[in-house]
Amino acid sequence: MTSTALPTTEDLRGRARTALERVGVSVPDGSGLIARTPITGDHLFELAAATPADAEDAIAASRAAFLTWRTTPAPRRGELVRRLGELLRDHKSDLADLITIEAGKIRSEALGEVQEMIDICDFAVGLSRQLYGRTIASERPGHRLAETWHPLGVVGVISAFNFPAAVWSWNTAVALACGDTVIWKPSDLTPLISLACDRLLARAAEDVGAPRDVHRLLLGDRAVGEKLVDDPRVALVSATGSTRMGREVGPRVAARFGRSLLELGGNNAAIVAPSADLDLAVQGIVFAAAGTAGQRCTTLRRLIVHRDIADTLIARLTAAYNKLPIGNPFDEDTLVGPLISPAALDTMQSALARVQAEGGKVLAGGNRRLAEALPRAAYAEPVIVRVDEQSEVVREETFAPILYVLTYDTLEEAIALHNDVPQGLSSSIFTRDQQEAELFLSAEGSDCGIANVNIGTSGAEIGGAFGGEKETGGGRESGSDSWRAYMRPATNTINYSSRLALAQNVSFL
């Protein structure tokens, strides 16, 4: 199915301008950075890209703001995040419009992304009263050992196009509550939503009397990101994007002994066991594999199905895929919007050609859509490909809606296949057998940062820590105790006796 009503670029430009004006941004004029929409593939505005001097100014201002922000009591820092959350609620629809226009997300997912931002603000407000350290039993009489957590400094946030606002909010809400200041280098594919978020945070800072420079925005390409990567005044670089990017950023930050938090690519799989509830599995798989047009880091890319149920499950999945409405993401009926760019479509088609050359069989989808009506956009049918083995192409992350289906006979074999990829982000098992579920979640089960039962790989809640192992980078963001990455612990030994006792019974003097 294809949604027929298509917006014009002029409609989208007008809608973007209205959303921006409602949050308080007048569309800036400049040069060096093009804002475009994947819905039609056309340019919307030309904006100013940050210069090296802008990056220097932002780092100096952010560092200066940190010196006062770090001593502002944490619950008062939380007030800034609370106000940001209120403004996000007020402008939920405007922000969702910008996400759809720039990233191509369908309306419900774009609203969901803004909801996630609101949720993390609520979480970080609570966190501002819960930056707990432990008290440790001392081996010495009259002594107390304690752990104190202090703000870290300037946090550089580098983010990807596919969660153009939520990733910023996960980092920023938590970092601000922890007493850090933030410089944001968003994807150059999504500058408009970035301007809107920056403006709302500036308004929140004005409203609560926080320094404006607790947050700075630098629009531009990777060269701007590299300034944050290399500058020793940036204490933590939190970088979300491809493994290729992480491979460059990680060692460069480490070379100056900075900290990095890497959230990189995934190659997520689900195992479907013979006892699985197939109604539930089909729903979970289709959302995880075809939702967001396959452009989530947690998108389901590999399905490992028990041989006895493979034909039944594949028949149900292909039937569902053949009915997926593809097209205008603003249309309430659409479930699959555009890929981010024609280059992304080329990458998808070349992965499909490779896997077919190896004997992979396309079972549903895979064609380009709307090429005549929107030749500069990239709409594609999500595709299911049956493969006999986990070849090189299957083991790569292709950032497009391709679902590879493999079969297994024993759960041990399924888990081995599951873990035999370089990435380690998200995973799931569909089963009604408790032993199987627990084995999958155990130390000899999934090797991912996220392991689910009877739910797909995508769509995490903010309350849990988010991130993955191996080439996914090892970072954790968002909930649980991820906040510790944004602070530095100090161990304090306090002697409240009048005797100097040395540890380990050492005697001296």
**Footprint of ligand NAD (CB under 6 A):** 158-163, 167, 185, 187-188, 221-222, 225-226, 229, 240-242, 245, 248-249, 263-266, 297, 397, 399, 425, 472
Cα-based angle 314, 317, 322 (whole degrees, multiple of 5) = 120
Assess contact for 263 and 473: CB atoms under 8 A. Answer: yes
- Closer to ligand NAD at the Cβ: 264 or 313? 264
* Long-range pairs for 418-421: beta carbons < 8 A, 24 or more residues apart: 418/269, 418/271, 418/302, 418/304, 418/446, 419/446, 419/447, 420/390, 420/395, 421/267, 421/269, 421/302, 421/390, 421/395
Characterize 37-72 residue by residue with b for buried, 16 or more Cβ atoms within 10 angstroms of its Cβ, and e for exposed: bbbbbbebbebebbeeebbeebbebbbebbeebbeb
Rounded-to-integer distance, Cα 469 and Cα 257, Å: 21
Q: Shortest approach of ligand NAD to residue 248 CB, angstroms?
A: 4
- Closer to ligand NAD at the Cβ: 226 or 433? 226
Q: Shortest approach of ligand NAD to residue 168 CB, angstroms?
A: 11
- Closer to ligand NAD at the Cβ: 399 or 430? 399
The single residue of 79, 263, 397, 471 carrying the catalytic annotation is: 263
Rounded-to-integer distance, Cα 194 and Cα 47, Å: 12
From the list 263, 184, 188, the residue with the least C-alpha distance to 216 is 184
* CB burial of residue 391 (10 Å; 0-12, 13-18, 19+): middle
Rounded-to-integer distance, Cα 330 and Cα 440, Å: 38
* CB burial of residue 372 (10 Å; 0-12, 13-18, 19+): exposed
Residue 469 a catalytic site member: no
Rounded-to-integer distance, Cα 38 and Cα 23, Å: 22
Rounded-to-integer distance, Cα 314 and Cα 310, Å: 6
Rounded-to-integer distance, Cα 269 and Cα 457, Å: 7
From the centroid of its chain, how far is CA 444? Answer: 27
- Closer to ligand NAD at the Cβ: 42 or 230? 230
Q: Please report how many Cα atoms fall inside a 13 Å half-sphere around the Cα of residue 37, on the Cβ side.
A: 29
Rounded-to-integer distance, Cα 204 and Cα 430, Å: 44
* CB burial of residue 284 (10 Å; 0-12, 13-18, 19+): buried
End-to-end CA distance of the chain: 85
DSSP per residue, 67-82? HHHTTS-HHHHHHHHH
> What residues are labeled active site?
263
